[in-house]
Amino acid sequence: MRELLSCKIHKATITDANVEYVGSITIDSDLLDKIDLWEGQKVLVVSNTTGARLETYVIKGPRGNGEICINGAAAHLIKKNEEVIIIGFQFSDKLIEPKCILVDENNRFVRYL
């Protein structure tokens, strides 16, 4: 069994960073559906702006608003308006075809990668 890339949201923009919230990253439900990312699933968030990297879990956000909010202690590392890559992984004993998408500056789907 190996842990493999299962999905990725590339060039997303952080719409808010809330240190008062108890942990996680909130992501627009439309984006979660596009890449088959589940609420509660662990993700790696990488800032293209600063190089910061962190692991957290997904909270399903409202559909269609483009929200991607870093919550809790993670908001000390990644701030509002930073560009990020959000990466999901899956354990498998076979190769899998990851679902990777590119979004625009408003976190709207552009195309599959």
* Predicted pLDDT of residue 22: 80
Strands 99-103 and 2-13: parallel
C-alpha to C-alpha distance for 43 and 31, rounded to whole angstroms? 14
- Spatial CA neighbour of 24 closest among 56, 55, 46, 65: 56
In order of their start, the domains of the chain are: 2-112 (2.40.40.20)
Task: Give catalytic residues, as residue numbers.
Answer: 24, 57
* Predicted pLDDT of residue 98: 97
Phi, psi of 34 (to 5 degrees): -60, -35
In terms of pTM, does the model score above 0.85? yes
C-alpha to C-alpha distance for 68 and 14, rounded to whole angstroms? 5
* Predicted pLDDT of residue 94: 96
Other beta carbons within 10 angstroms of residue 46's beta carbon come to 18
- Residues of the chain with pLDDT below 70 are none
Q: What is the DSSP letter of 64?
A: T
